[in-house]
Structure 1
């Protein structure tokens, strides 16, 4: 699967920045998958491969309890059922595209609550959980608990493309200040590149946290600032595993980060999650 640089989609941005500054920018991009779950399909969308599902009842191990979270924002006592946001079929995603390796098979299943609070999924009462279910595990479709809120019905999740996810220009400009160039032209070049490739996606796998939604220096793990052309990262850093747009929950965008060492060991029980509205 060819990425944006191989397609030449980055060229309008490179034309504005010039070769030297453009090379600095390119060194901070990272490959990502763009996934979408359309309500209805066009003829083009019907050709997109199905790689999972959004919402609806998930397939869980028969002995696995339904994940729960704690509503600490409103001072309510007890736990409540989390919502199934998405299931990703690891075997259905192309191999060798991202700059980290997902499991060869099995499913990644994302749950979140409403409201959802920033934190680590290992914390008791966490309002976001991620589970890895190996492909050999016996599973069955599980309905949402009766006391849970009704959410959107299941929709097939399809792979739009791979693309090069850019780091927010704010971080690059700190080290490489912009020369006297037309910033409006640069913004338009970024817009053409972003929306022609991945406009309207529901899930991003890999890459950088989407700068359109406000990349935060404080809340984003430092490891996510690397690029594939930079030095090999330490396994202790965190990378963006997924960003999920939850249209059923106040248009939440949930960013999930994971340590490289945990990813290599297929441990998904201690992700760092960063919700934004």
Structure 2
């Protein structure tokens, strides 16, 4: 964990104690810290990939529908950077666009596999309109620099039955206040691997698990309770999050089941977008 992030966590602890939150509750909350890899176009950390650039995939790979946001050299990302079972080598490609109707995808190219350049789809190429081009100009470009850190949840509420609809996280009576404090204190990087997702409107991991649970129930002809904790939610993790300016700001989230990640089933990634036009 880099020094700046360690100092930030210490600052968070001190600030929480000034809010009359019991020290034991603050320390219990800090136990939720998860490691993440901060990936930015600036900084002095090692280069672990590239923002933008050519789309290099196997010849028989499906053509991506979204812009390439980043190509990450998995071998350059230390194992301790996250608590995810990331591939030890090869390239991870993240595609996305900050629009609810477009979303994104992820692709993994194992080390040693032959690749060739694929062309971007026409709607972001020769046929792109001015609004699309303006958004694409906000996408990061250039080398990706890595730094390591730890982050806390920025969503401290969970769904609850009516009439309250939301409640603090079980076992964490001050979760709403603590999560808001962290959200105000920490500036999310351009791109991050692992950690907790930040959204103004929803918990991306819960939503991904909920969508998967709904589809499974529908396939089996079973009723689905949207307010219940999604079945198998504990299996879902945030693979990556990208923050793109698109005023007033947009976030793209890539979620996956931990088991699918371990088995390199990146076609199982779910992509959500948080954007308020």
- Could you tell me the TM-score, scaled by structure 1's length? 0.68
CA distance, structure 1, for counterparts of residue 29 and residue 236 of structure 2: 21
2:68 is aligned to 84
Equivalent residue for 1:32, pick from 21, 36, 48: 36
Structure 2 regions of 5+ residues with no counterpart?
A: 159-166, 211-231
1:155 is aligned to 142
Q: Is 1:166 matched with 2:176?
A: no
Say which is worse superposed, 242-251 or 98-107, in terms of deviation. 242-251
SS at match of 1:102: coil
CA distance, structure 2, for counterparts of residue 191 and residue 127 of structure 1: 27
2:222 is aligned to none
Equivalent residue for 1:272, pick from 267, 270, 273: 270
CA distance, structure 2, for counterparts of residue 114 and residue 8 of structure 1: 32
Conservation of the 8 A alpha-carbon contact between 2:40 and 2:146: yes
Conservation of the 8 A alpha-carbon contact between 1:13 and 1:186: no
1:131 is aligned to 107
Report the alpha carbon displacement of residue 20 of structure 1 after superposing the two structures with TM.
Answer: 0.8
Conservation of the 8 A alpha-carbon contact between 1:3 and 1:164: no
Report the alpha carbon displacement of residue 34 of structure 1 after superposing the two structures with TM.
Answer: 1.2
Structure 1 regions of 5+ residues with no counterpart?
A: 39-44, 69-81, 118-125, 223-233
Q: Is 1:141 matched with 2:117?
A: yes
CA distance, structure 1, for counterparts of residue 23 and residue 74 of structure 2: 37
* 1:35-184 equivalent positions in 2, closer than 5 A: 35-38=39-42, 45=43, 47-68=44-65, 82-113=66-97, 115-117=99-101, 127-146=103-122, 148=125, 149=128, 151-152=136-137, 154-171=141-158, 173-175=168-170, 176-178=172-174
Higher relative contact order (CA 8 A, sep 6+): 1
SS at match of 1:275: strand
SS at match of 1:208: coil
Say which is worse superposed, 90-99 or 150-159, in terms of deviation. 150-159
2:193 is aligned to 205
Q: Give me the CA root mean square deviation.
A: 3.4
- Could you tell me the TM-score, scaled by structure 2's length? 0.68
CA distance, structure 2, for counterparts of residue 235 and residue 178 of structure 1: 22
Question: Structure 1, residues 8-45: CA drift from partner, whole Å, max 9, x if none?
Answer: 5322332314431112212322111111124xxxxxx2
Report the alpha carbon displacement of residue 204 of structure 1 after superposing the two structures with TM.
Answer: 1.3
Conservation of the 8 A alpha-carbon contact between 1:106 and 1:133: yes
Conservation of the 8 A alpha-carbon contact between 2:153 and 2:196: yes
Report the alpha carbon displacement of residue 270 of structure 1 after superposing the two structures with TM.
Answer: 1.1
CA distance, structure 2, for counterparts of residue 191 and residue 167 of structure 1: 9
